[in-house]
Amino acid sequence: MTTRRLLDDLGASVALAEPPRRIVSLVPSITESLASSVADRLVGVTDWCTHPQDLDDLGVTRVRGTKNPDLARIAGLRPDLVVANMEENRELDVRRLREGGIPVWVTRIEDVPTAFASLRRLFADVLQVTEPDWLTQAARLWSGELSTQEATVAVAIWRDPWMVVGRDTFTGDLLRRAGLANAFAAHKDRYPHITLDQLDDPAFDAVLLPDEPYVFTAADGPEAFAAVPTHLVSGRELTWYGPSLIQAHGSLTALRERLTAQRRG
């Protein structure tokens, strides 16, 4: 079997089979992306990989979480590639897998353009497959002229303590491109801890309450707010960089229009 070397998104040299046939994905959104084109190559995924909904029908093995993967189980699957992400996975786990002789390709996603660039490299250079239709469509939807930011929202990602999306995140860039200003985009932290008083601010048009990583529901989240409207939203459409980006464009555009209409009253 031919072996070649490529540099991953962090510049690490990765020895790859030609092409990889047994893949373990430690990133839920990338799992969904891979299932769209190379489902037959997926042999292992995390417990947090929930899409596509028929994922378990593919016969994949669950290898625990993104932050605590079962390295022994991964090794037992004899993968010729593990796909990880700089933010979602621990450097320690990546290092241990590599020390065990397992190639690990680490992605780095900082905004919408880097997401598309990283995914295209993964499909074309690493997997050597044709770009999937959803990726072409999503890039067309999200790579146009930036929308005017017509409403301001905060995105809560945890409670007790409250945490929100702050500066320099994929989610923040997605919101910006949909015409929604992130209320905490100027915060010094990427995922700051804040007080409820800071979040329940009538100056905001809305607080978005996604269903991941914290599972906000109609009975858990909205009741805490008295001054600002809340909206339960899909966490997948806010944070995943895969086929969900097509749905996200429609959902966030509709949300912007709704909030803008409310503001104009």
Q: Is residue 137's pLDDT more than 70?
A: yes
Do residues 26 and 135 share a domain? yes
Q: Domain for residue 146, yes or no?
A: no
Do residues 226 and 132 share a domain? no
With H, G, I as helix, E, B as strand and everything else as coil, classify residue 132: coil
Bridge partners of 16?
4
Instruction: Please say whether the beta carbons of 61 and 43 come within 8 A.
Output: yes
The model carries a pTM of 0.93
Mean model confidence pLDDT for the chain = 95
Do residues 97 and 219 share a domain? no
DSSP codes, 58-72? GTPEE-B-SSSB-HH
Spatial strand order in the sheet of 81-85: 61-62, 42-45, 23-25, 81-85, 104-107
- 82 vs 26: CA distance, rounded Å: 7
| 113, 141, 169 - which closes a domain | 141
H or E element in which residue 32 lies: helix 28-35
Do residues 205 and 123 share a domain? no
Do residues 194 and 105 share a domain? no
Do residues 66 and 26 share a domain? yes
Give pLDDT tens digits for 67-78.
999 999 999 999
Do residues 7 and 133 share a domain? yes
The CATH number linked to 38 is 3.40.50.1980
* Residue 118 Cα to chain centre, angstroms: 12
Do residues 122 and 26 share a domain? yes
User: Using CB atoms within 10 A of its CB, is residue 195 exposed (0-12), middle (13-18) or buried (19+)?
Assistant: exposed
Q: Domain for residue 135, yes or no?
A: yes
What pLDDT, on the 0 to 100 scale, is given for residue 170?
97
Q: Domain for residue 236, yes or no?
A: yes
Q: Is residue 153's pLDDT more than 80?
A: yes
Q: Domain for residue 231, yes or no?
A: yes
What domain count does the chain have? 2
Q: Domain for residue 233, yes or no?
A: yes
What pLDDT, on the 0 to 100 scale, is given for residue 129?
96
| 141, 162, 178 - which closes a domain | 141
Q: Domain for residue 59, yes or no?
A: yes
Do residues 99 and 12 share a domain? yes
Percent of the chain with pLDDT over 70: 98
Do residues 123 and 212 share a domain? no
Do residues 98 and 202 share a domain? no
Give pLDDT tens digits for 16-49.
978 999 999 999 999 999 999 999 999 999 999 9
- 165 vs 156: CA distance, rounded Å: 7
Note down the domain range covering 185: 151-264
Q: Find, among 187, 144, 141, the residue nearest to 168 by Cα.
A: 187
DSSP strands (E only) in the chain: 3-7, 13-17, 23-25, 42-45, 61-62, 81-85, 104-107, 151-158, 162-164, 180-182, 193-194, 206-210, 230-233
| 94, 111, 141 - which closes a domain | 141
Do residues 137 and 9 share a domain? yes
Question: 209 pLDDT band (50/70/90 cuts)?
Answer: very high
